Amino acid sequence: MTLLGIFVEFPWLALLPSVAFGVAGYRWRRASIWVAAIVWLLYAVYETAMSRRILCSGDCDIRVDLLLIYPILLIVSGVAVLSAFRAR
């Protein structure tokens, strides 16, 4: 299991980065940090719906959608972290 793959197995863990970015966004008032918090929150909701078979009716073992989602999460998170360091 990869580091990001843990979010597929335990979707609620995606709330941790969302909360962390939310706290940082509140503290430093940076839009990019708020965007990261919202993106992670949306991903947590999406991944929970996938794991409960709400968005996936059949066999969900091959997740091509993650090839797009994970790079977006990494880029948005990286920009937010850089923004947080600049705010300090």
Q: Are 29 and 80 within 8 A, CB to CB?
A: no
**Which residues, 6 or more positions from 19, have their beta carbon under 8 angstroms from its beta carbon?**
37
Question: Residue 45: inside a domain, yes or no?
Answer: yes
Question: Residue 61: inside a domain, yes or no?
Answer: yes
DSSP 8-state code for residue 12: G
Number of domains into which the chain is organized: 1
Q: What is the pLDDT of residues 33-61, one digit of tens each?
A: 999 999 999 999 999 999 888 888 777 77
Does the pLDDT of residue 1 top 70, yes or no? no
Question: Residue 5: inside a domain, yes or no?
Answer: no
Q: For residues 58 and 66, give the distance between their C-alpha atoms in angstroms, rounded to a whole number.
A: 17
Question: Residue 68: inside a domain, yes or no?
Answer: yes
pTM: 0.90
Task: Give me the domain span that covers residue 74.
Answer: 11-87
Question: Residue 6: inside a domain, yes or no?
Answer: no
The whole-chain average pLDDT of the chain stands at 90
